[in-house]
Amino acid sequence: MAKILKSCYCGFCSGVTLAIKKARKASAGGNIYTLGPIIHNPQVVENLRRNNIIDQSGSPAKISSGSCVLIRSHGIPLHIEKELENKNCRIVDATCPKVKKAQEIFSRLAERYGRVFIVGKKTHPEVKGIISRAPRKGIVLPGPKEAKKIPSGKKTGIIAQTTYRREVFFATVFEIIKKFDVVEMHNTICQETICRQEELKKLAKKVDVLFIVGGKNSSNTKRLFELGRELADAYHIEIPSEVLPSQLKGRENIGIATGASTPMEIVEEIEKKIQKLTKSK
């Protein structure tokens, strides 16, 4: 049987754990709605739905007046929060404290410099929520390539999406530093994201193949997978049925790492599937 090595940082991060705890508590009193899935795992989202925690797929228009709404760990744009308040919704704020901190730093920098760079993905809910704190003052940069095109200036601020890759953030900061006299940089990448990325680098050296487990729509899992495949033979999977015998052929050491919103139950099931497949080799 092959040897399975798991990252020390498998399963939910503290922000996701907190959001689920708040959602479960609030749902004891009836239905609670989220604007998008609370975590990126279809099985768990379905289980939560059966327990009154219902995803309304990002649209506040679908929420009826007076409903209870949970703000996910990513946070939400201010104008949507206002819209929900105007509908007299009861809001349960489960924004991760680290995301809140990034929102506050962004607002402060926007006031100080009038323009702030956010290294991240423009369409990510967290980035949309951050930018909404000072509309037209935030510029999203996916990486150093885009930073090279920015015209030079005097002073600016720069932060990161909390789940972005550290190397990409620093490479982007390096390009911005070349163009401005003063750059106030805040590394807002959360420590848990950094630990997962660093642990993956160590794990990749010890294994023949890596399984990165998490939602295909989960940004932090995608970042981990990007890193994983630079270092080893890697597969991004969501569920045990995606583990195939061909991926395990001739492999002795198999690594498993997860995104921040992957439940441990799925990891255990994947472990069992790998054991079963490698036992029968």
13 binds ligand SF4 (CB under 6 A): yes
262 binds ligand SF4 (CB under 6 A): no
Q: How far is the CB of 192 from ligand SF4 (least distance, A)?
A: 5
238 binds ligand SF4 (CB under 6 A): no
Of 132 and 188, the one with the shorter C-beta distance to ligand SF4 is: 188
Of 27 and 73, the one with the shorter C-beta distance to ligand SF4 is: 73
197 binds ligand SF4 (CB under 6 A): no
Of 223 and 236, the one with the shorter C-beta distance to ligand SF4 is: 223
Number of chain residues interacting with ligand SF4 (CB under 6 A):
15
Q: Contact at 8 Å (CB) between 188 and 101?
A: yes
Phi, psi of 249 (to 5 degrees): -60, 125
- Which residue is nearest to ligand SF4, using beta carbons? 15
User: C-alpha distances in angstroms, 125 versus 35, 51, 55, 177, 180?
Assistant: 10, 24, 15, 27, 28
188 binds ligand SF4 (CB under 6 A): no
Residue 17's contacts (CB-CB under 8 Å, 6 or more residues apart) are: none
162 binds ligand SF4 (CB under 6 A): yes
Q: Contact at 8 Å (CB) between 91 and 85?
A: yes
The tokens of 199 are what? 């642990």
Of 118 and 248, the one with the shorter C-beta distance to ligand SF4 is: 118
Rounded to 10 degrees, the C-alpha dihedral 55/61/67/73 comes to 50
Q: How far is the CB of 54 from ligand SF4 (least distance, A)?
A: 21
Catalytic residue (choose from 126, 175, 238, 271) = 126
Among 2, 9, 10, 16, binds ligand SF4 (CB under 6 A): 16
Among 32, 118, 243, 260, binds ligand SF4 (CB under 6 A): 260
20 binds ligand SF4 (CB under 6 A): no
Distance CA 229, CA 227 (A): 6
End-to-end Cα spacing for the chain: 8
**Secondary structure E strands in 136-233:** 138-141, 153-160, 180-185, 209-213
Of 132 and 163, the one with the shorter C-beta distance to ligand SF4 is: 163
Contacts to ligand SF4 from residues 83-102, by CB under 6 A: 96, 98-99
Residue 167's contacts (CB-CB under 8 Å, 6 or more residues apart) are: none
**How far is CA 42 from its chain centroid?**
16
236 binds ligand SF4 (CB under 6 A): no
Residue 102's contacts (CB-CB under 8 Å, 6 or more residues apart) are: 126, 130, 159, 160, 161, 162, 186, 188
Of 96 and 209, the one with the shorter C-beta distance to ligand SF4 is: 96
130 binds ligand SF4 (CB under 6 A): no
128 binds ligand SF4 (CB under 6 A): no
Nearest in space to 256 (alpha carbons), one of 194, 213, 226: 213
- 104 tagged catalytic: no
Supply the residues annotated as catalytic: 126
Binding site for ligand SF4 (CB under 6 A): 13-16, 73, 96, 98-99, 162-163, 190, 192-193, 220, 260
